[in-house]
Structure 1
């Protein structure tokens, strides 16, 4: 289904626009709350029935019991080993719980939920073909314009602060403290009117703002080994005392007794060459980026040109990498392949998100030796 946003002047990319001809200008407008982003390629699932919240609560990482109508939260569906399978944006309207997920997630998540119904009073429906999300930030004219069109529901991103039952690994003032993104869900039949409600910004603009706010993305940053601790995702998507759910043992063990094996950092990139690394580009210690025999210490997940901060990226590094170490990123289309020829090296300075000592919040008393 083609999005009406792609009919707007300058639209580049599909199934939704990456930009409309001026990515940096669009980014400024989006950041100020005066532009909207088409997220119609993402999925939406509804769960109806009297047992919906207790049922979802039993399977995912966030406390959903007693979730009041209109209150937005997010939760993670983990595998039995605590690895992230789905990141789910949740809001309930009093009769139905709406689950907003990244592209490619609706079908497998709906199939999993349908298998887990048993005898409970729940009804799961993938409504991605009927509804679509559009994003705007508070503080400008765009959110008000979308509200005037009477969306089915709103989901206000909780990333700006630590939610009840969560915890934050990042030290000092958090880069996401002013985050005010809201997703508005509309019937697809009315999306053409929605596309004209405010100036449009592309996904590139949203990516840059998310990177600067340290905001993790399931489709952008998570791989098959990822656990929530590595992204400081316990601040908004995990309730540490809610009780049992799939993957809960890993959450508790790493937080209380261990350390996440990797840690998310923001990289400030040398933009003198005007090149951004691709997703998956390998990260090395300073001075080793051009060495074909060097061993990488991490990888880029997303990179963007920020309208104030210039070239920035999110990267997953080995926990053992010192936080003050200058790094080097391999550029080029094959930068994620250690055996590929080195086409260029970009110097990078770290901005700490997840500290090297994150986790291990409980002290185990040593037993006296006989």
Structure 2
């Protein structure tokens, strides 16, 4: 059993994440999960995400080297800036999704709890002769601030966040005791919520200081919120999570991880020289991915509660798989799902066994977050022009 985080251990009334949850050992909620979500969208909340694995990359060639082994364009990443990144297998399927921040000559990487060792091992094996050192840093932890009040006022002042801080910018946290201890840093992440109205700021801090930072931010006005809150806002924003909303066949285009930091993406299309790049380029220029990520609204009256990996069917045939399933404070039960690209937005969907009502529930695609697939890829358009097609 995973040991509880320092924050969870200090809140005796908190409820830990369920058994088997991908965020082990942190709080699922603090007694009012739907109220915590509401506060996160309207004021400010703080979420313990200290389950995430943190890795340190040092050395003069860390960014140019990481550029060659991952999907993001990093050769010109400025100091005190972040980016999202992927590691793909040889067929272009997603193996790892991680966030990186370069600050003061060090690149900090954090990823899912169960992928920390695997990603550290992969990066270590890929160093070869590059001037890079890869080190797991279990002594560094992640906290996440949510809500409009985290960007201004007492909370921003407490973490040293400037008024002009933009997406993926980062900076040093203020000293706590003025004794030259590691300080940690803040970084601005893509907003969550229905229309991206909920700002997100991560803090990466030494484990020894996590309780002090937590209390400092709570005293500044943030309410403790569990992973339920973070996950509900993430799902509503259609931000996929590795191994929940992806499977062993997922390619980046299916879950909209395409784009550089300025687009909030993890795969830059103006670069090559990384494992799986051929698949990314082929889909971007000539074809379309076989599946797409959609937001589903579930029948709240059904007794059946789908789990991650459950089948999505239409007309009795399987058309996809369910990812994260969560209860949202405004929209009730919602889920992310990967479905076949040609499934129309008004399709009548069933999750579970369509022949057994007690083991299934109806679902519908959110039309406001559904983008029609009517654009011709640039490579295909060029081929059509050469062949005289309109």
TM-score by length of 2: 0.80
1:310 aligns with 2:332: yes
Structure 2 distance, partners of 1:65, 1:55, is: 9
Match for residue 156 of structure 2 among 144, 161, 169: 144
Q: For residues 8-50 of structure 1, what are the alpha-carbon distances to aligned partners after superposition, in whole Å with 9 as ceiling and x for unaligned?
A: 1421125111111111011112223411111111101110110
1:103 aligns with 2:113: yes
- TM-aligned CA deviation for residue 354 of structure 1: 5.5
SS at match of 2:54: strand
Structure 1 equivalent of residue 87 of structure 2: 77
- TM-aligned CA deviation for residue 138 of structure 1: 4.7
More deviation in 36-45 or 270-279? 270-279
Q: For residues 277-320 of structure 1, what are the alpha-carbon distances to aligned partners after superposition, in whole Å with 9 as ceiling and x for unaligned?
A: 221222112xx5xxxxx332111101111112222111111122
Structure 2 equivalent of residue 4 of structure 1: 6
Aligned length: 340
RMSD, matched Cα? 2.5
Q: For residues 257-281 of structure 1, what are the alpha-carbon distances to aligned partners after superposition, in whole Å with 9 as ceiling and x for unaligned?
A: 1111111100112213476422122
Structure 1 distance, partners of 2:240, 2:198, is: 13
Structure 1 distance, partners of 2:27, 2:196, is: 28
Structure 2 equivalent of residue 168 of structure 1: none
Query: Does the 8 A contact of 1:328 with 1:345 survive in 2?
Result: yes
Structure 2 equivalent of residue 228 of structure 1: 252
Within a 5 Å distance, the mapping from 1:114-125 to structure 2 comes to 114-125=124-135
- TM-aligned CA deviation for residue 112 of structure 1: 0.8
Point out the structure with the larger helix share. 2
Structure 2 equivalent of residue 345 of structure 1: 360
1:280 aligns with 2:275: no
More deviation in 30-39 or 136-145? 136-145
Structure 2 distance, partners of 1:21, 1:269, is: 24
Structure 1 equivalent of residue 209 of structure 2: 190
TM-score by length of 1: 0.84
SS at match of 2:44: coil
Q: Which runs of 5+ in 1 are unaligned?
A: 161-173, 289-293
- TM-aligned CA deviation for residue 52 of structure 1: 0.4
Structure 1 residues 92 and 25: CA distance shift in structure 2, 3 A: same
Q: Which runs of 5+ in 2 are unaligned?
A: 17-23, 161-172, 175-182, 260-264
1:246 aligns with 2:275: yes
Structure 2 distance, partners of 1:46, 1:176, is: 33
SS at match of 2:284: helix
Structure 1 distance, partners of 2:101, 2:55, is: 11
- TM-aligned CA deviation for residue 146 of structure 1: 5.8
Q: For residues 322-370 of structure 1, what are the alpha-carbon distances to aligned partners after superposition, in whole Å with 9 as ceiling and x for unaligned?
A: 222121222xxxx6xx9x96633322111244544577332213658xx
